[in-house]
Structure 1
Amino acid sequence: MPERHLVRNLAGDLDISPLLVNLLWSRGVRTAEEMDLFLSPGLRHLAQPEQWCGLNATGEVIAKAVAQGRKPAVWGDYDVDGITSTALLLLFFKARGVEADHHIPHRQTEGYGLNNAGIEDLARRGIGLLITVDCGISHLPEVTRAKELGMTVVISDHHLPGPDLPAADAIMNPKIGDCPCPNLAGVGVAFLLAAVLNRMLPGEPLDMRQFLDLVALGTVADIVELTGQNRILAKNGLTMLKEGKRPGIMALKEVCGYKPGAVLDEDRVGFGLAPRINAAGRLGHAETALRLLLARDMTEARELAKELDGYNTHRRGIGKEIQEEALRLALEQKGRFGLVLHAPHWHEGVIGIIASKVAETHYRPAIILTDHESGHLKGSGRSIPQFSLYEGLVACQHLLEGFGGHSQAAGLRLHRDDLAAFQEAFNAAVSQALDNIPPTPTLILDAPLSFGEIDYDLLKELELLAPFGADNPKPLFLSPSVTVRNRKPVGADHVFLDLRDDKAEVTMRAKAWNQAANLPRSVTGKPMLLAYTPKFNEFNGVTSIELALRDWALQG
């Protein structure tokens, strides 16, 4: 941590508390200028187009093709990042007077990314310009086929490229070349592309801020690092989401039970809006979610939001059964470093969610596989911070029919006969990467904080650090010794605790989600230390302060 005099000086220069200076310092933000940018990430701080490798060139290819009368089609993906990317470009083209078509693959029948059948169908519909969003960088044969059909092809993606790039007319991918933010979400790439096109197309340019709600939605949902350029886009976009000017967003807020003017933070996006958008692609067709984001009026939007809410409810029911079964199977692989679980009847639409739960519960990289109608096994994986899932799959690629993704999430396909070999190879890859040392979850505490120091001013200041996510975790504090005054169960899995800090003479309520089994009635009256985050709670129009409990240790 910095020396006290430096903390005092920075706090004085920025008019913030020493605690906030220390929190910023621990996140690698070290100078007054960096701290000011982090706390006030205005749009003026977005990098210039020429700083993004290939951005201007990609915009010029699209502008030229449009000028030649080539009709564009946007090819997206069925997750939130892909759907928001598709909606953004379609809305942009419409506002600029360019008629555009689109295609989002059906998850169950087409799978992720480009496919020749879909490309050939677009060609029959007169498409001369194919623009991918959130996909395309690994689809070399499909891009070649589009070129054979006479299309101009532009790849807009953010996934890791392979050793060879597709033969597209232009590629915009922040992981290629020197870019200000290699980990930009797919919708962030689409936004930048629309922004440069906005100056290249004839006619009056648009105010691009109108699309930031979609950018925030896709960026938060895709769990990219919420620092740098992503932070600027997400922070400003969340403000637009709160306003809810888009009918589809307002209708989504309604089915989530959020009030019209409610703040949409990363939790409400990640656990409320995003799952309902994702549910369309998982159990139905992502087209429903796209239509919601494109809806012009509340009547249409409410009908579509209700449909998505129904998908999400159904998804939760299916997921609960599969989760219980997967966790049982995971216990049988308890000694392994990498978990690969398979059942032929598991629903393809929820295996990613189950992989997250298994990885979290057992603190191991986890891959969940199910049978696909193609005769292959199809899977989704999630990882832990210590292991790059993408690199792990690279080590096993000789056994895979295809794969792609990120460090912490990936998808894959393999032949059924290669399952046993893949299980061994993946376990070996994880073991080697971790030096054969079993990984253990570790909480990094920011600072000690007594209940007497918690007030509205502190929480308002902590909110300046939001949005929280990858590379910018919620502040986590260590309590002094506190006593459990009361334990109140909430449903079957959750529990409220009333906790007393005797030294500060303050009692506060804490929520422990999914921890009822680990906090039995016997904790009442006992002293404990807490790892916690203080937060605002709104209920029936009244705002109070409560504690989100992450971990604890009983004393004595």
Structure 2
Amino acid sequence: MNKRWALRDIADHEEVKSLAGALNIDPVLSALLISRGIKTFEDARLFFRPDLRLLHDPFLMEDMEKAVLRIEEAISRGEKILVFGDYDVDGTTAVSVVYSFFKKRYNNLEYYIPDRYLEGYGISFKGIDYAAENGFTLIVALDCGIKSVDKIAYANERSIDFIICDHHLPGDQLPEAVAILDPKRPDCAYPYKELSGCGIGFKLVQAYAEKNEIPLEEVTCYLDLVAISIACDIVHITGENRILAHLGLQKINTDPSIGVKTLMEVAGRGTYYTISDVVFLLGPRINAAGRIDDAKHAVELLITTDVEVAKEKSLLINVKNTERKGHDLSITDEALSIIDSNEELINRNSTVVFNEHWHKGVIGIVASRLTEKYYRPTIVLTRSNGHVAGSARSVIGFDLYEALCGCSDLLIQFGGHKFAAGLTMHPENVEAFAARFEEVVSATIKPEQLIQQISIDAELHLSQIEPKFFRLLNMFAPFGPENMAPVFLSKNVYVSGVAGLVGESHVKMTVIQKGSPGFESIAFGQGEHLPKLKKDVPFDICYTIEENIWREKRSIQLNIKGIRFTS
């Protein structure tokens, strides 16, 4: 697939020069800081040194006082409390944090994860019925609930109070809950709006601890789980999330909880985790529990203090992840065949594919794979409980949620955000929905949004990549949305020695530029360029700079995202 290279406009040159001088750093690094809104020495100090003391006061969040008071009241009265969370990584980590914290202080407490297939996403009538039948009078809902107006009304009729801890956009009407913790609600003045669902749960625990004079260490011991939620829910790694992710990664790499540690071991890597490693090694395994079997296995792993239980659950989850991969690959192949054999589908601005036999647990992954292949808004549909359920993924710059709003009359329900969403419809609406979605996308998407873009932060001469530059560049981590790993452009580079193929399509080589040392490089999935990669042929590259660890030896490696020949 051809990709556009887009070089970021350089910030004000005088501003770049001034900050570079104040910090005694390369102007390229100064420009990277300014593009992230960091313009002074003090801004840079706070950015490079994430500190727990910089976390916001949790009581700045609307309804936090009400939430803490209601929990205190429930504990003092001996009420039964149910911690309810969604079945994905964010939901299961959130439940694990809140349940573990309160279980140390109160026994009349359980947790509940809805069944992906029988109950679907979020708060369910079945879950409320379970609470009523078992004498629960307070439900703390995590990573869901902000749009559950009808379900909260149903709970109120059954004398069950709700505290909602959510981070999704609210609808026009808020549920009638005792407390709603969501920085995105219009009347919430909380300074940071991009917390994960687990992050909201963490703030609830932090507030309760402050109010009840519980040491902060008894809250921060869960930061590994918070970091996993931030990484896997693809929220912004800025502001408060950056602090939580940075310190959470430190805990993952030095003192993870028993459950996280055993999961890291079965994943094949015991330490040196980055945000990317969490996303690709831990996240799929935690998610696999709910995709293939029961998400309660993930919670049981993450809350246990028993090494043997942790080993048992980690191995089980790993098996489920292997099973998930099989479904994922076979369904992806089937979906590709459907599209490639239909000229009309190939030429559309959107992708909607349906097969009633596809496994619901992996259609989100398949949607992501199809988006990578065709680079356009994509929805994968399958049959579920008499309805058709779908998972949707978008491309950079296109608001998927708004597009679904334009099809809402054909849907039973939908929810999500700009880049990912879930939806349900009646089977008879599938054909009409596919046509409408294509109509909405075609009317609103810009042509350039259908061509994958490599966003380049700055042009760099390879000689600038020296130890101090690399050390400071690493301090920009953890990387993620709104703080992505910087991508650099270097022109007129050459192969030093011989370029070779690794696996089926990856290029391994050493590149040099006039006046620079050689740098080991890997270009994943770009084997088609190999015939032209000769010693005397100049070419341009865009790349990230990373550390390669092989048999405990560390070296700088260029991860090449694009190759462009100059002649």
Q: TM-score, normalised by structure 1?
A: 0.94
After TM superposition, give the deviation of residue 334 of structure 1 in Å: 2.7
Amino acid at match of 2:69: E
**Deviant stretches of 4+, over 6 Å:** 202-205
The equivalent residue for 1:538 is 549
Amino acid at match of 1:167: E
Label 1:521 to 1:214 Cα distance change in 2 as closer, same or farther (>3 A): same
Deviates more, 1:456-465 or 1:7-16: 7-16
Residues 370 and 377, structure 1, Cα contact 8 Å, conserved in 2: yes
Amino acid at match of 1:283: I
Match of 1:519 among 529, 535, 544: 529
Task: Quote the Cα distance in structure 2 between the aligned partners of 1:450 and 1:205.
Answer: 46
The equivalent residue for 2:436 is 425
The equivalent residue for 1:346 is 358
Q: What are the superposed Cα offsets for residues 6-34 of structure 1, whole Å, 9 maximum, x if unpaired?
A: 43432343354332211111223333333
Q: Which runs of 5+ in 2 are unaligned?
A: 1-9
Q: What are the superposed Cα offsets for residues 94-139 of structure 1, whole Å, 9 maximum, x if unpaired?
A: 2223431011012122211122222212222221111100011122
Deviates more, 1:45-54 or 1:465-474: 45-54
1:188 is the counterpart of 2:199: yes
Q: How many residues align?
A: 551
1:58 is the counterpart of 2:67: yes
After TM superposition, give the deviation of residue 202 of structure 1 in Å: 8.0
Residues 157 and 173, structure 1, Cα contact 8 Å, conserved in 2: yes
The equivalent residue for 2:165 is 156
Q: Name the SS for the 1:479 alignment partner.
A: strand
Superposed CA RMSD: 2.0
Amino acid at match of 1:402: Q
Match of 1:80 among 84, 89, 93: 89
1:142 is the counterpart of 2:151: yes
Q: What are the superposed Cα offsets for residues 359-386 of structure 1, whole Å, 9 maximum, x if unpaired?
A: 12222111111111x2211110111121
Match of 1:104 among 105, 113, 135: 113
Match of 1:30 among 26, 32, 39: 39
Equivalences for residues 18-417 of structure 1 within 5 A: 18-176=27-185, 177=187, 178-201=189-212, 207-259=218-270, 262-331=271-340, 332=342, 333-372=345-384, 374-417=385-428
Q: Name the SS for the 1:197 alignment partner.
A: helix
The equivalent residue for 2:5 is none
After TM superposition, give the deviation of residue 201 of structure 1 in Å: 4.5
The equivalent residue for 1:469 is 480
Label 1:3 to 1:401 Cα distance change in 2 as closer, same or farther (>3 A): closer
Task: Quote the Cα distance in structure 1 between the aligned partners of 2:349 and 2:560.
Answer: 28
Residues 65 and 152, structure 1, Cα contact 8 Å, conserved in 2: no
Label 1:204 to 1:35 Cα distance change in 2 as closer, same or farther (>3 A): closer
Task: Quote the Cα distance in structure 1 between the aligned partners of 2:286 and 2:194.
Answer: 22
Q: Which runs of 5+ in 1 are unaligned?
A: none
Q: What are the superposed Cα offsets for residues 315-341 of structure 1, whole Å, 9 maximum, x if unpaired?
A: 112211222222333444232222111
Q: Name the SS for the 2:221 alignment partner.
A: helix
After TM superposition, give the deviation of residue 451 of structure 1 in Å: 2.3
Task: Quote the Cα distance in structure 2 between the aligned partners of 1:312 and 1:533.
Answer: 29
Task: Quote the Cα distance in structure 1 between the aligned partners of 2:12 and 2:131.
Answer: 62
Q: Name the SS for the 2:222 alignment partner.
A: helix
Label 1:24 to 1:465 Cα distance change in 2 as closer, same or farther (>3 A): same
Label 1:304 to 1:385 Cα distance change in 2 as closer, same or farther (>3 A): same
Q: Name the SS for the 1:130 alignment partner.
A: strand
Deviates more, 1:507-516 or 1:384-393: 507-516
Q: What are the superposed Cα offsets for residues 54-99 of structure 1, whole Å, 9 maximum, x if unpaired?
A: 2222222222222222111111111110000000001110222343
Q: TM-score, normalised by structure 2?
A: 0.93
After TM superposition, give the deviation of residue 431 of structure 1 in Å: 2.1
Q: What are the superposed Cα offsets for residues 413-434 of structure 1, whole Å, 9 maximum, x if unpaired?
A: 0111111111121122222222
Amino acid at match of 2:364: G
Q: Which has the higher relative contact order, 1 or 2, with Cα contacts under 8 A spaced 6 or more apart?
A: 2
Deviates more, 1:302-311 or 1:485-494: 485-494
Residues 355 and 381, structure 2, Cα contact 8 Å, conserved in 1: yes
Task: Quote the Cα distance in structure 1 between the aligned partners of 2:256 and 2:434.
Answer: 48
Label 1:9 to 1:253 Cα distance change in 2 as closer, same or farther (>3 A): same
Deviates more, 1:84-93 or 1:543-552: 543-552
